[in-house]
Amino acid sequence: MLYVVLGILALIAGILAFVRGGKPSTLPVPAGQGGAAVNVPQLVGYLLRSQAGGVLLIVAGVLLLASTSFVQIDANRVGHLKRIYGLQELPPGHIVALAGQKGPQARILGPGFHAIPLVRVLYTVEQFEVVRIPEGSYGEIIATDGKPMPEGMYIAPQIPDNRLADMLNAETFLIEGGHRGPQETVLKPGEYRLNRYLFNVRVANDTKATLIPAGHVGVVKSNVSKPGTQCFEQEVKATDAIEGALSVPLVPTGCVGIWKEPLFPGAYYLNRKAYEITLVDTRVKTWEYKGGFIKRIIDLAVDQQGNITQTPRSEAQAVPQDAADRAVLVKVEGWDIPQELRVLVQVSPRNAPIVVGAVGGLSEIEDRILTPVIRSIVRNVAGSEIELPDPANLGRKVRRKTHVLDLIENREALEQTIETLVKREGRKAGVDVQEIRLGEPALPPELLVSRLREQLADQLSKAYERETAAQVKRIETEQARATANQQPKLVEAQIAVQVATQRESERGALGRAERVFLEETARGQRAQADVLGQDRVAMLQGLEKLLITLERRPELAQLVGRLVPHTVVGSGSGDGFAGAAAILSGMMGSQSSVQSVPAAAGQARPQPARMVPSGGAQPAN
């Protein structure tokens, strides 16, 4: 302020001096060495009376005033002005002033040098950091000034994206009727130069972006309505095909209430004061009903003598942390049997708003609706009747009372019945039951001992049979080993057997040939006997044998020649024996002449025997 007063005085004095002053004759100079100092009053008087002095005063005044008329704003800051002096007062109920009004100004200054007349005198200058919104978050805006929100408005309506940049200008916001209070509009990640007198921006853990992961949908409960949207409630049921299905009122997107259409996977910058998002898992979920009982067991053992012994024991089955509930206790034929089971369920995106609107979510559906229903259905089905194929007619089914062992032997039939009933109840609650699988029931061990003993006896019998087969195999192996060790002798014996067999075959063939020969010979002899007579045939056979003998042993011919006469007298009867004798004699003579030494000269050669007729004697030659 002092610089302003001095600058104004210097400027007025300089102007007056410049207008009235003339050219002085001499300029006051300092006295010489040892003289008096400069006379200040004389110097001031000189300046006030001369035009040169007036110019100096004008320049000094301008510099003093200029020193209060500029401001420098840093690059990462925003300049804010708060006016101290002004002709207009700030209207009542307002926080931020427009141009000419005293108080915090709507105008802001960007980075750099700004020349504003008397800015350091009329205003207080403050610098604030630019607003930074990090990735994955949004900035929640609260306007400290503007039009009051109408009755019943919870939060100021959202500013359209095409006007957002203009409405973030404080002057535009105030002039065009922006509402004070919390804004539905949020600031997405980035940097913003905002008037901090008008806009308070909050970034915290609860202003994170709404992330809807894969396999989920987001059910929206809106506290605001979008301007221009036609809103109405519609009662929507989980299914129209089943009586008693859950139903809730839903509204179109952009209206106050639960939206009929959910949000699908992605990132959404939604003001959590305006919208409540409930995530619903649309993947297949597994509910296990397991544990929570004492399991009794009877162990069977076999000693060395083959005797079976029984040892009872018990185990506590705890409920797993991720289990939906403990096992279902069913009563069958008077026995209390813990039955474990697994249920696969899924919520479709279409039914997600119904589930949230009816009970709040899938976990509430599980705890409040489906778990009690599942337990009731399993108890009723397992403890009443079962439907099975008729053994006499497989195309027909019969119903009978459920037995304990049906929990093991006819488990599939029980599963189908339970699954059909549970699926119906699930559709009524907006949940799709995919399948139900019964686990291993904790049957009383007393019911299983006889079966286990029978199975153990069968296993022992099979073991004995296998052991016997193993011993037989061992004997065969030992025999094969002994046979291999005696292989040379076996080969020799086999060859001898083959030779004997061959000889037997050869002799058999020779015998058969001899038999045929004899048979043919006998037939020939019979025919010869029929012609010649029996006695002559016998003589011829003897002669034939004699000839064969002589052919084999020629040395006997000489002896026979000596014994047989050279002249044969025949009776002339023509019986043939005479001719045979003559022939025999001639042969013997011939044989002897061949084998004897030749006779001397002049001696007669021996003559063969001749047959003489019986009518007279014929001398030998």
pLDDT at residue 502, as a whole number: 87
Confidence of residue 109 (pLDDT cuts 50, 70, 90): very high
pLDDT at 104 over 90: yes
pLDDT at residue 580, as a whole number: 53
Residues whose CB is less than 8 angstroms from the CB of residue 541 and which lie 6 or more positions away in sequence, other chains included = 525
pLDDT at residue 610, as a whole number: 43
SS3 344: strand
Q: Position 1: which residue type?
A: M
Q: What does the domain layout of the chain look like in residue ranges?
A: 2-27+38-67, 285-443, 542-595+607-612
Comparing 67-76, 132-141, 430-439, the range with the smallest average pLDDT is: 67-76
pLDDT at 22 over 60: no
pLDDT at residue 65, as a whole number: 67
Return the exposure string of 280-297: e unless at least 16 CB atoms fall within 10 Å of the residue's CB, then b: bbbeebebbbbbbbebee
Residue with tokens 């004492």: 294
pLDDT at 483 over 70: yes
Nearest to 251 by CA among 226, 233, 278: 233
Confidence of residue 581 (pLDDT cuts 50, 70, 90): low
pLDDT at residue 616, as a whole number: 39
- Quick one: CA torsion of 104, 108, 113, 115, rounded to 10 degrees? -60
Q: Position 268: which residue type?
A: Y
The phi-psi region of residue 602 (left if phi > 0; otherwise alpha if psi is between -120 and 50; otherwise beta) is left
Comparing 150-159, 186-195, 601-610, the range with the smallest average pLDDT is: 601-610
Nearest to 156 by CA among 143, 175, 166: 143
The span from the CA of 173 to the CA of 166, in Å, is 8
Comparing 232-236, 338-342, 512-516, the range with the smallest average pLDDT is: 512-516
Most confident of 118-122, 218-222, 530-534, 564-568: 218-222
pLDDT at residue 462, as a whole number: 82
The span from the CA of 584 to the CA of 549, in Å, is 13
Is the Cα torsion angle 201, 203, 207, 209 positive or negative in sign? positive
pLDDT at 611 over 50: no
The phi-psi region of residue 291 (left if phi > 0; otherwise alpha if psi is between -120 and 50; otherwise beta) is left
pLDDT at residue 5, as a whole number: 64
Residue ranges of E strands in 65-176? 70-73, 77-83, 103-109, 112-115, 123-129, 131-133, 139-143
Give, as one character, the DSSP assignment of residue 366.
Answer: I
The model's pTM is 0.61
Tell me the mean pLDDT in the region 158-178.
91
pLDDT digits (tens, 9 = 90+) for 534-547: 777 777 777 777 78
SS3 561: helix
pLDDT at residue 371, as a whole number: 93
Q: In sequence order, which ranges of 340-444 are alpha helices (DSSP H)?
A: 352-358, 362-364, 371-382, 406-409, 411-428
pLDDT at residue 151, as a whole number: 85
Mean residue pLDDT of the chain comes to 81
pLDDT at residue 21, as a whole number: 60
Contact criterion met (CB below 8 Å) for 576 and 531 = no
pLDDT at residue 563, as a whole number: 56
The span from the CA of 196 to the CA of 131, in Å, is 9
Cα dist. 441→49, 100, 292 in Å?
121, 87, 13
pLDDT digits (tens, 9 = 90+) for 353-365: 999 999 888 888 8
pLDDT at residue 342, as a whole number: 95
SS3 482: helix
Q: Percent of the chain beyond pLDDT 70? A: 80
CA angle 584, 586, 587 (to 5 degrees): 65
The residue ranking higher by pLDDT, 596 or 475, is 475
Cα dist. 621→81, 604, 605, 609, 616 in Å?
193, 9, 10, 9, 16
3-state secondary structure 579-597: HHHHHHHHHHHHHHHHHCC
By DSSP bridging, strand 139-143 and strand 190-192 are: unpaired
Task: Extract long-range pairs of 202-206: CB within 8 Å, 24+ residues apart.
Answer: 202/139, 202/140, 202/142, 203/133, 203/134, 203/137, 203/138, 203/139, 203/140, 206/272
Tell me the mean pLDDT in the region 46-53.
64
Cα dist. 337→64, 264, 320 in Å?
101, 44, 19
Among the CATH numbers 1.10.8.60, 3.40.980.10, 3.30.479.30, 2.40.50.140, which is that of 285-443?
Answer: 3.30.479.30
Give, as one character, the DSSP assignment of residue 284.
Answer: -
Give me the phi and psi of 76, to 5 degrees please: -100, 25
SS3 205: helix
pLDDT at 583 over 60: no
What would the two tokens of residue 508 be? Answer: 């058999």
SS3 382: helix
Length of the chain equals 621
Contact criterion met (CB below 8 Å) for 383 and 275 = no
Tell me the mean pLDDT in the region 594-602.
40
